[in-house]
């Protein structure tokens, strides 16, 4: 849990450094060591100058009793603290609120809270995977937790997804002491989780308000929570659970001498060090004698000491011996710096080559029409990732410019393991061979990074989702003819993927956000994320991904990804109604269109008013609506294939 710099020090040395830091922090000021019944050990502290750095500040809040409340000062809401410790383990025990979604008698949402409280703004804490679990309570619900921030790398938006599902057949289903999916379920959490953001699945809840009025989810100490059936009716607005946090000093502790001299973290407070510094200033007219911070750093870091003395020690050390010692140390560091620089360069080149090979470089470099960019070339193309276009399924997408002034889009691919190397190289080769005006063209890749970066042609009008639903485009007029052109040419691109290449390709995540538009609004299919999960002759995905509202229910339930999964996800309804697949929080366009069609024998009430002007327009839209309903048939074999759709 310690920083790389501190982790280099042996445990006794680290404790010595920590004690010196604590002494320095407390010198010259009165710092409270207790609030109520809770001990406040350094690096935690109450009041200015009493804590080590941001994240370690503690509040002692008077609450009208003899036992004031201890709380984390850096959190976004009041987070009570019940325990702080440095040894034997660096831990903090806190009370975190319960996430919830509560319903009325008809199953509508009355109130909700996603559980997010930012306890980790300054990087100090991790939620202990060894001591906590994630619990979901409720009847007929599913919930999962993620880090609230996006990690910017890998296939998905967040680094962790953990959750489970519960059900109840009636008001007496749940049993005290049993948390095994009936009213209660729990899972272990992944190591490294820094915070929690809960997502609930919205399943029918009408008629359950008496025995399960709310869905709940929370992190909790494994040994302090036992399920009770009455918990299904707990007061969620007041509920909180004990959670263990691991903590560590993660800021830059590896200070140079120049950086340390203005720091109080390693300051010496011994009388002899003060006297020695004064003598050096007087005898040698040094503007800055050996800084106290540097002296203490010499004492506690074995890499910088060749004998057990330094100016900070208790033994008598002459001024001249100290100066000689410092000069020797300086020379040694100069030589060491040169050696380290050489080592860093060699290690960097070796690391770049390892990443190149790990990401399939020996195979990809043989592909004729794919350019392989170096890491330095990519930095230059994207100007150090200075222009963000948006966010893709695997991370940020950046705008770049090649040497010939061609504008490109640069985006992260998947993290390539040994098991996925062949899949990734095959995918790059297949994408390089997909030459069609309605499929985004892959121009090259960079393999000298942890997650390969792919370089594509640039589509200046962004994606169809933003054109249809973006706030800045709400008043953008899109004619019926233009929408039909977008639908037709998108279908042509998918037809080409399904039928015209040497390998059958199922996209797996067709949606308006993955249809890009060039300067002339010509659509181009992009983001072949799910297809990366499949071997050449497989139909089953390793795990189900995709966007709710678009995902084929057969694929969602079974993992069976076919060409007709792409047909189900096709965006016809979205184009003619100009509504997202999920709108007004929980309204489904597919369900709404079916409802209107069944009631009126026409989808006219859902059509976008901008294009349903004349009776001829309405006739065309009715026909497109019928085709959309065929594509959305839950029976896979009853759907048309993409040839018929096109």
Count the Cβ atoms, other than its own, within 10 Å of residue 130: 11
Which helix (H) or strand (E) segment is 619 a member of?
A: helix 615-631
**Backbone dihedral angles phi then psi of residue 150, each to the nearest 5 degrees:** -85, 135
Q: Which residues 6+ apart lie within 8 Å of 148 measured at CB?
A: 116, 118, 195, 196, 197
State how far the Cα of 376 lies from the Cα of 379, in Å rounded to an integer: 5
411 is in an annotated binding site: yes
Q: Which residues 6+ apart lie within 8 Å of 24 measured at CB?
A: 264, 265, 266, 267, 268, 269
Per-residue CA distances from 113 to 96, 102, 148, 274 (Å) = 13, 9, 14, 55
Least Cα distance to 565 among 574, 556, 573 occurs for 556
State the number of CA atoms in the 13 A half-sphere of 488 facing the CB.
Answer: 7
Please report which residue ranges of 40-140 form alpha helices under DSSP H: none
State how far the Cα of 177 lies from the Cα of 467, in Å rounded to an integer: 52
State how far the Cα of 185 lies from the Cα of 181, in Å rounded to an integer: 5
- Which one is catalytic: 301, 423, 509, 552? 509
Per-residue CA distances from 92 to 41, 44, 135, 152, 326 (Å) = 11, 10, 20, 28, 40
Beginning with the edge strand found earlier in the chain, give each strand of the sheet holding 132-137 in spatial order.
109-113, 99-103, 214-221, 132-137, 184-188
Q: Identify whether the C-beta of residue 256 lies closer than 8 Å to the C-beta of residue 207.
A: no
Q: Which residues 6+ apart lie within 8 Å of 553 measured at CB?
A: 568, 634
Q: Which residues 6+ apart lie within 8 Å of 339 measured at CB?
A: none
Q: Identify whether the C-beta of residue 155 lies closer than 8 Å to the C-beta of residue 108.
A: no
Q: Which residues 6+ apart lie within 8 Å of 375 measured at CB?
A: 352, 446, 448, 449
State how far the Cα of 575 lies from the Cα of 483, in Å rounded to an integer: 6
State how far the Cα of 157 lies from the Cα of 151, in Å rounded to an integer: 7
Is 509 assigned a catalytic role?
yes
Least Cα distance to 634 among 578, 551, 573, 571 occurs for 551
Q: Identify whether the C-beta of residue 292 lies closer than 8 Å to the C-beta of residue 275.
A: no
State the residue for tokens 């996925």.
420
Q: Which residues 6+ apart lie within 8 Å of 112 measured at CB?
A: 100, 101, 102, 200
State how far the Cα of 282 lies from the Cα of 603, in Å rounded to an integer: 92
Question: Strands 371-373 and 442-446, how do they pair?
Answer: parallel
Q: Binding-site residues for ATP, please?
A: 411
User: Which residues belong to the active site?
Assistant: 509
């Amino acid at each position: 849990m310690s920083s790389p710099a501190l982790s280099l020090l042996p445990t006794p040395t680290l404790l010595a450094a920590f004690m010196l830091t604590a002494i320095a922090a407390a010198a010259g000021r009165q710092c409270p060591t207790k609030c109520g019944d809770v001990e406040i050990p350094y690096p935690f502290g109450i009041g200015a100058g009493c804590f080590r750095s941001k994240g370690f500040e503690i509040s002692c809040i008077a609450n009208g009793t003899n036992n004031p409340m201890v709380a984390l000062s850096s959190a976004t809401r009041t987070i009570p603290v019940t325990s702080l410790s440095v040894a034997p383990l660096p831990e903090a025990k806190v009370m975190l609120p319960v996430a919830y979604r509560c319903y009325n008698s008809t199953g509508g949402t009355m109130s909700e809270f996603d559980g997010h409280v930012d306890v980790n703004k300054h990087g100090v804490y991790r939620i202990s995977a060894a001591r906590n679990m994630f619990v979901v309570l409720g009847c007929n619900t599913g919930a999962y937790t993620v880090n609230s921030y996006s990690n910017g790398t890998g296939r998905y938006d967040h680094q962790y997804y953990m959750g489970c599902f519960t059900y109840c057949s009636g008001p007496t289903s749940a049993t005290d002491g049993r948390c095994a999916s009936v009213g209660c379920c729990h899972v272990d959490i992944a190591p490294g989780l820094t915070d929690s953001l809960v997502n609930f699945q919205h399943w029918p809840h009408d008629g359950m308000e008496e025995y399960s009025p709310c869905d709940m989810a929370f992190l909790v100490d494994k040994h302090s929570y036992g399920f009770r059936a009455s918990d299904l009716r707990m007061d969620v607005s007041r509920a909180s659970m004990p959670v263990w946090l691991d903590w560590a000093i993660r800021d830059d502790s590896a200070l140079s001498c120049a950086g340390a001299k203005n720091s109080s973290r390693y300051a010496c407070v011994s009388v002899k060090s003060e006297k020695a510094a004064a003598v050096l200033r007087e005898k040698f007219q040094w503007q800055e004698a050996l800084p106290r911070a540097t002296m203490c750093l010499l004492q506690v870091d074995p890499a910088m000491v060749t004998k057990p003395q330094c100016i900070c020690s208790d033994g008598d050390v002459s001024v001249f011996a100290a100066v000689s010692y410092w000069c020797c140390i300086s020379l040694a560091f100069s030589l060491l710096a040169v050696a380290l620089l050489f080592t860093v360069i060699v290690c960097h080149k070796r690391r770049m080559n390892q990443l190149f090979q790990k990401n399939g470089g020996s195979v990809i470099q043989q592909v004729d029409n794919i350019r392989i960019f170096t890491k330095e070339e990519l930095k230059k193309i994207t100007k150090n990732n200075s222009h963000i276009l948006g966010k893709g399924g695997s991370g940020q997408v950046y705008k770049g410019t090649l040497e010939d002034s061609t504008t490109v889009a640069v985006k992260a691919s998947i993290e390539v393991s040994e098991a996925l190397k062949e899949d990734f190289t095959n995918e790059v080769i297949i994408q390089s061979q997909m030459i069609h005006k309605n499929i985004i063209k892959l121009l090259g890749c960079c393999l000298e990074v942890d997650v390969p970066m792919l370089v594509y042609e640039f589509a200046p009008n962004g994606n169809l989702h933003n054109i249809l639903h973006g706030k800045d485009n709400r008043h953008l007029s899109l004619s019926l003819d233009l929408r039909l052109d977008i639908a037709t040419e998108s279908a042509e691109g998918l037809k080409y993927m399904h039928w015209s290449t040497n390998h059958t390709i199922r996209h797996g995540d067709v949606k308006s956000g993955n249809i890009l538009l060039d300067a002339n609004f010509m659509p181009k299919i992009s983001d072949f994320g799910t297809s990366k999960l499949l071997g050449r002759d497989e139909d089953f995905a390793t795990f189900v991904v995709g966007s709710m509202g678009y995902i084929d229910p057969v694929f969602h339930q079974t993992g069976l990804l076919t060409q007709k999964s792409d047909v189900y996800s096709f965006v016809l309804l979205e184009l003619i109604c100009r509504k997202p697949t999920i709108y007004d929080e929980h309204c489904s366009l597919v369900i709404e269109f079916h409802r209107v069609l069944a009631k009126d024998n026409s989808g006219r009430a859902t059509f976008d008013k901008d294009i349903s002007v004349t009776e001829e327009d309405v006739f065309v839209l009715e026909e497109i609506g019928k085709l959309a309903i065929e594509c959305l048939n839950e029976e896979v074999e009853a759907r048309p294939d993409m040839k018929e759709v096109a």
